Structure 1
């Protein structure tokens, strides 16, 4: 059933998210050649500077879709075999039996069993995912830290495994995607970031998407505010931050318009070929960092919209910033949303995030954006 864009409903929905407690957010929704762009709230809580729908933003793990697409291009060219052991490409990083048991595919769909390195790189998160026993001190300690990618990978590889290679449900882990960055460098002779820029970002004609070269977001952007489940009160600005802690897993800067363009072209088979796209849309159950079991493909996550079919895309968060981009399988309907506050939920006595009005307001915006 066709539901054309309703600007009044979209404007009301985005304003309701601001009223629920997000300082600022902005979005773009497309239906064929119909386009709505909207924004609500402020980009700077101190000055009241408003957000704008054209702002650049840290989009977190949406980066993984770009990295997965780059890997699939190299699969198409014959330089990477999807079901080959990662140890054959990177024996020093994943040595021995694990290197032979873990395949490239298992890295891309998070079924490698490799642990998340983040609690080891950020000591105040050592109890993660037990949120009540974590703290935000490491965020400030590492604002300008330049992490070595191989060291981060080593933390994840040497940590206790979270599952058997290929076992399901898989467990979402940034370690997988840092390894894919090293794999791309090994087979292309250039850094993952440079390869993705030339062969994914430029191929898609994205004008405002890039990997950061330093701790700053260039061009018009919002400040981004992290609350860490009420432990940072008031929420603190982390818009200046060295993103080497996530690299090809989650450091990309983009706009809502660029995200819609990218996912539209990806699902149209214009970034990778149709057979690669089919592989990317083969899903397995994966436990997310929030503890939910989701369906996950090769850098793509599906969402079912009642009466509208399947949407494909990805979400992402970093300290202070969040984004979600979803495109219907036929490419016609698209939605990208960016918010400048993260982890707004407070914890209950058992350390579980409590419901917050922002959650339902965002869900309502997504519903209006995806299917009216």
Structure 2
């Protein structure tokens, strides 16, 4: 266990991920009053433009920790009751017995049993992760497609259920969080993006964080290289992409510094009340997109790190970009890491991702950043 930051060790571990095959990555690590920032590799493989630790980046499902906080704020105001059925608020979106059985809390912790809509919106995801016979064509076809959230929700609600309402383990589903965004709009009378921006992003003072309404990343940023399990070779840039396919469920643009600031304030009770935070940290087993069981609360993962104890946070990915942000339960150690390559693993004959040197290098970096030098399994998602 390390109690202070070692810049040389951290930079060496960062560069090892780049040497393993990621074009570029960057990170910020905090330990008490110490802060280390580092970067390795390039933001653009064609020009050699380097990545920097201050770059803005699509952080995928880390967005869910922001959306969940906005919902909990409305619960504190008395405008939403977590254990009230979603049909009470949005009967037209989840009708009948399912709407009466699925509560707001079940949406936040992924125990609603609602299937994810993504395989239906993107046909190339239909067999994920067994995608050996599919192509990434739908990614290109939909680069500028503007989806309406209610049509995506309808795809998820009409799909075969992934489980029973309230049953565990839950199944991770973006349908849940698009419904929460519609709930926020219904309650506040404004868009979910504006509600989350005003009540969460601005409240936390995150000057480089936003929920985009168009396909572009404003300000300094890396290109986002998608490999699609080796079927896009060389990996293609998808930094320009209309994120309406996930909306505030996974469209957040941020920096590693802003992510660390947000989770520090969240665990300090500055974003939601201590009682709401306690509910946020009550976890249930949930099956991730990769088929692994994670401990999931109300928009937060719980991660146990050998020798360091409990960490809270979230990870996420979009096309070509990935990020993770974790903070120790006592708030003294934090790490946020961003990479500009996704789905680097090749597939075996059964369509399952094979191990890749990037996996080991990234795991080593993550655990070193969290203050523990030995590696341990951690899923990406």
Superposition TM-score tier, normalisation by shorter sequence? over 0.9
**Equivalent residue runs for 1:212-361 within 5 Å:** 212-361=212-361
User: Does the Cα contact within 8 Å between 1:128 and 1:134 map onto a contact in 2?
Assistant: no
2 CA distance for matches of 1:177 and 1:149? 10
Q: How does 1:1-372 map to 2 (within 5 A)?
A: 3-372=3-372
Distance 2:145 2:266 in 1: 34
Superposition deviation, residue 8 in structure 1 = 0.7
Q: Deviations over 1:157-214 (max 9, x none)?
A: 0000010001111100000000000000011111111010000001101010001121
Quote the Cα distance in structure 2 between the aligned partners of 1:164 and 1:350.
29
What SS is found at the alignment partner of 2:370?
Answer: helix
Unmatched 5+ residue regions in structure 1? none
Distance in 2, Cα, partners of 1:136 & 1:166: 34
Q: Is the 8 A contact 1:305 1:371 kept in 2?
A: no
Per the TM alignment, residue 125 of structure 1 is displaced from its structure 2 partner at its CA by 2.0
The aligned residue for residue 378 of structure 2 is none
Give the Å deviation of 1:307: 2.2
Q: Which runs of 5+ in 2 are unaligned?
A: 373-381
Partners of 1:64 and 1:248 within 8 A in 2: yes
| Preserved contact between residue 125 and residue 135 of structure 1 (Cα < 8 Å) | no
**Kept in 1: contact 2:130–2:350 (CA 8 A):** no
What CA distance in whole angstroms lies between the structure 2 residues aligned with 1:64 and 1:135?
28
Indicate conservation of the 8 Å contact 2:209/2:252, yes or no: yes
Cα distance in 1 for residues equivalent to 2:311 and 2:287: 20
Shift of 1:2: 5.7
Equivalents in 2 of 1:2, 1:74: separation in Å?
40
Structure 1 residue runs of 4+, over 4 Å off?
none
State the distance in 2 between where 1:280 and 1:134 align.
38
Measured against aligned partners, the alpha-carbon deviations of 1:199-256 in whole angstroms (never above 9, x if no partner) come to 0001101010001121110000000000010111110000100000000110000000
Q: Cα offset for 1:319?
A: 0.5
**Distance between the aligned counterparts of 1:191 and 1:251, measured in 2?**
14
SS of equivalent residue, structure 2 residue 291: coil
Distance 1:124 1:27 in 2: 31
For 1:308-335, what per-residue CA distance to the aligned partner results, in whole angstroms no more than 9, with x for missing partners?
A: 2211000000100000000011111000
Q: Distance in 1 between matches of 2:125 and 2:22?
A: 24
Q: Confirm or deny: 8 A CA contact 2:22 2:340 kept in the other structure.
A: yes
Instruction: Note the C-alpha offset of 1:133.
Output: 3.8
SS at match of 1:294: strand
> Number of residues paired by the alignment?
372
- With structure 2 as the length reference, what TM-score do the two structures score? 0.96
State the partner residue of 2:379: none
Q: Normalization by structure 1: what TM-score? A: 0.99
1:71-125 CA-to-partner distances (Å, cap 9, x unmatched) read 0001111000000000000000000110000000000000001011001111222
State the superposition RMSD in angstroms.
0.9
Q: Secondary structure at the match of 2:325?
A: strand
Q: How far apart are the structure 2 equivalents of 1:212 and 1:163? A: 32
How far does residue 32 in structure 1 lie from its aligned partner after superposition?
1.1
Using the alignment, how far apart are the partners of 2:104 and 2:302 within structure 1? 21
Which has the higher mean CA deviation after the structures are superposed, 117-126 or 84-93? 117-126
